[in-house]
Amino acid sequence: MKRSLTMVCSLLMAMVLIFTLSPLTMHAETKKAVTVKTHKFMFNSNIKYPQISGMKNKLRQEKINSNFKKLAQQDYKDRKKILKRYDKDRKELGLSKKDYASYEYKTFFTVKYNQNNKVSIVRTKYYYTGGAHGEYYSESYNYNTNSGKEVTLKQNFKTTAAYNNAATCTVNKILADKEKYPLADKNLDLNLTPYYWTNSKSGINLIFQIYEIAPYSSGQIELPMETTCE
């Protein structure tokens, strides 16, 4: 009886500790490095861009936000040009709006990582100007939220040798799987590849554009950066 009572008490104490400590642990793990808000350029929901607050270096934060706004301004202009071109192309073909699919242009972003003094933002542009399907393209912005400096892929590694080894392992693994990645070639340059931070083993995911390593039907492909060759 005493033994059973002791086991019950131990179980209750364990449950109390779990419910007491878990929220604190979860809060520590998910605490955001900065706040990222969505803005619409000229109140146009098709042109969305990020604005960051909470960086320690306010001057760099201001420059980052200014850059995102300038990119959105250019997107807004490009969207107007494409929509204007639609009427011109349609009339030249002698088609009505009902018979000719509307052109489209929009930009949006995703916050992929936002903790441990780092933030990763992936900005995507989608456009359609006729044909079987639209096109889209992504670019990444990775910042140290303490310094406000953008971090290149190579700067995530302690040495150039470590980066070169990881890049070689990653490219070789992609080239080895011709069934999944039939368009990949040996000249694949990861320095030009967008990336974002993750909580995975390698800590980095790469974003390959459509047609870069696989056909359109595969969409953009996200793969982890390999740290060692198998």
62's torsion region: left (phi>0), alpha (psi -120 to 50) or beta? alpha
The CATH number of the domain covering residues in 153-230: 3.90.640
pLDDT of residue 3 exceeding 60, the answer is no
pLDDT attached to residue 25 = 41
Mean per-residue pLDDT of the chain: 89
Burial string for 134-160 (b: 16+ CB within 10 Å, else e) reads eebebebbbbbbeebeebebeebbeee
Residue type for 30, please?
T
pLDDT attached to residue 9 = 46
pLDDT attached to residue 11 = 45
Residue 160: both structure tokens together: 């150039």
pLDDT attached to residue 174 = 97
pLDDT attached to residue 59 = 97
Residue 20's pLDDT band (cuts 50, 70, 90): very low
pLDDT attached to residue 90 = 94
Domain 32-151: CATH superfamily is Fervidobacterium nodosum Rt17-B1 like (3.30.565.40)
Of the ranges 14-18, 80-84, 158-162, 224-228, which one carries the lowest mean pLDDT score? 14-18
42-92 pLDDT tens trace = 999 999 999 999 999 999 999 999 999 999 999 999 999 999 999 999 999
Residue 108: both structure tokens together: 């949006």
What percentage of the chain's residues is helix, strand, coil (to nearest 5)? 40, 25, 35
Q: Where in the chain is the domain with CATH 3.90.640?
A: 153-230
Q: Could you tell me the strand order of the sheet in which 118-128 lies? A: 104-115, 118-128, 135-144
143-169 pLDDT tens trace = 999 999 999 999 999 999 999 999 999
Pair 173, 165: CB distance under 8 Å: no
Residue 93: both structure tokens together: 């073909």
86-121 pLDDT tens trace = 999 999 999 999 999 999 999 999 999 999 999 999
pLDDT of residue 29 exceeding 80, the answer is no
Q: Where in the chain is the domain with CATH 3.30.565.40?
A: 32-151
Across 123-127, average pLDDT: 97
